[in-house]
A and B are shown apart, each in its own frame.
Chain A
Amino acid sequence: GAVVSQHPSRVICKSGTSVKIECRSLDFQATTMFWYRQFPKQSLMLMATSNEGSKATYEQGVEKDKFLINHASLTLSTLTVTSAHPEDSSFYICSASGLAGNTGELFFGEGSRLTVL
């Protein structure tokens, strides 16, 4: 199946710094990428949807100025957590869709665990 790669898999940073997480589709062109956040022992919550070349669409309650999403190419989307605080510590997972519409063919990255000290 298609492969989606996230980097870094783990990152520890100091409070107030910014962290960038990359999501790459390795063998297909991802027209749409989704970013999810997962707290320990909880489900995945959709943060935002990004389409290549356009601004991301954020879910209600997600601060777009804090979680900057860029989808500059068909194979790369980045999530930047700006001025990170301990409450931003979480598991962030991206998924990518290479097919139009509602076929539901989504591929997930391995996730990135952010710890903010």
Chain B
Amino acid sequence: AQSVTQLGSHVSVSEGALVLLRCNYSSSVPPYLFWYVQYPNQGLQLLLKYTSAATLVKGINGFEAEFKKSETSFHLTKPSAHMSDAAEYFCATLNSNSGYALNFGKGTSLLVTP
């Protein structure tokens, strides 16, 4: 089954610094990949998704992710972190065995320091 692994449960960056959140996927077929953000006690908001079109995907709030088949990766980046980016980030892939629900990674908590 398709799955994703997020490396690093916590990432801390300074305001204005590059944000890099890592996600690797495991799939025998071309995957659909997603990044979601979750603020405390809230649902999930879609940042961006990869659906086998362009390998560089641009999302909301200045985030982007690059699909690299050779590395089975879909890392999320943002050139300059804002304080408001502090949240939990989840990488996910479609689970074709469960009616196309999402399989989520364990999440990465992003802390942005002044």
Contacts and interface: CB of A to CB of B under 8 A. Distances in A.
Interface in B95-114: 95-96, 98-107, 109
B102 to A, nearest CB: 6
Contacts of A67: none
B41 A108 contact: no
Interface stretch (A13-21, A42-50, A81-89): A42-50
A73 interface: no
Interface stretch (B20-28, B43-51, B69-77, B78-86): B43-51
**Interface SS majority for chain A:** strand
A104 B32 contact: yes
A32 B109 CA distance: 29
Interface residues of A, number: 28
B100 A97 contact: yes
Given A43-B90, A43-B104, A104-B51, A57 B99 contact: yes
Interface string B18-62: 000000000000001010100001111110010100000000000
A102 B74 CA distance: 19
A61 interface: no
A110 interface: yes
A109 interface: yes
Given A104-B94, A111-B41, A49 B106 contact: no
Contacts of B100: 32, 97, 101-102, 104
Interface string A98-110: 0001111010111
B44 A108 contact: yes
Given A42-B106, A43-B105, A102-B32, A57 B98 contact: yes
A101 B90 CA distance: 22
Interface of B: 32, 34, 36, 41-46, 49, 51, 90, 94-96, 98-107, 109
Given A32-B99, A95-B101, A102-B94, 6 more contacts: A1-B46, A93-B43, A106-B102, A110-B42, A110-B43, A111-B43
